Amino acid sequence: MNTIEVLNQYPNEFNEAVRFYSIGIHPWYIDLNRLDKDLEIINQKLENNNALAVGECGLDKRISTPVELQKKVFEQQILLAEKHQKPLIIHCVSAFQELIAIKKKLSITVPIIIHGFSKNEILANQLIREGFYLSFGKYLIKNPELKNVFKQLPLNQVFLETDTIEETIEDVYTLAASYKEIEVETVKIQLLKNFKLVFPNYNEDLDD
């Protein structure tokens, strides 16, 4: 089974050579001097079939940018995701209850994926109940305590990623399968189903 690679792009550094991408304003990189322009670029790029998602975007309460400003920028990107019917890839740090509240307030209909999930069972189960997808990668490899969290989650609401780790996606699949006590191929088949459901615009034959 071939690997499907989706790269994150920033509107002010957009690379036309990237085939499949998500695009968004990460809360770390909010710049009021170019915010309107960045949002317009995102709006334009989401017209392309190769644009599979909006993100990374979200909330981070451990940075100096005011949370209210982060919420404003995040909500503007949610509206673009809804307009173009593209899923959201979320960066969230210490703001999960705010994230859940925004999902309810805006009645978000597009799928929402939490990037790099690393928290406890209670939060994981709450997010699953609220309809979020949880993506695991670096922390699944680095933090053995996530075994019990991952083991009890429904596989149809999970994704696996590599992000910034040296290990390959095969390594992540192998570990995930061992935690679930199932075959690697079973994990791959289910995650491919998840991918096709969440990213219906993906078509490996696209060349636009």
Query: Would you say 13 is a known binding-site residue?
Result: no
Contact between 90 and 127 under an 8 Å Cβ cutoff? The reply is: no
Annotated binding residue at 47? Answer: no
Determine whether the annotation assigns residue 56 to a binding site. Answer: yes
Q: How many residues does the chain have?
A: 208
In angstroms, the CA 180 to CA 79 distance is 36
- CB-based contacts of 8, cutoff 8 Å, min separation 6: 21, 22, 23, 24, 55, 56, 89
CA-based torsion, 78, 67, 38, 159: positive or negative: negative
Residue 163 annotated as binding? yes
Strands 133-136 and 7-9: what pairing? Answer: unpaired
In 3D space, the residue among 110, 97, 24, 44 whose CA is nearest the CA of residue 67 turns out to be 97
Residues annotated within the binding site for a divalent metal cation are 56, 91, 115, 163
Residues annotated within the binding site are 56, 91, 115, 163
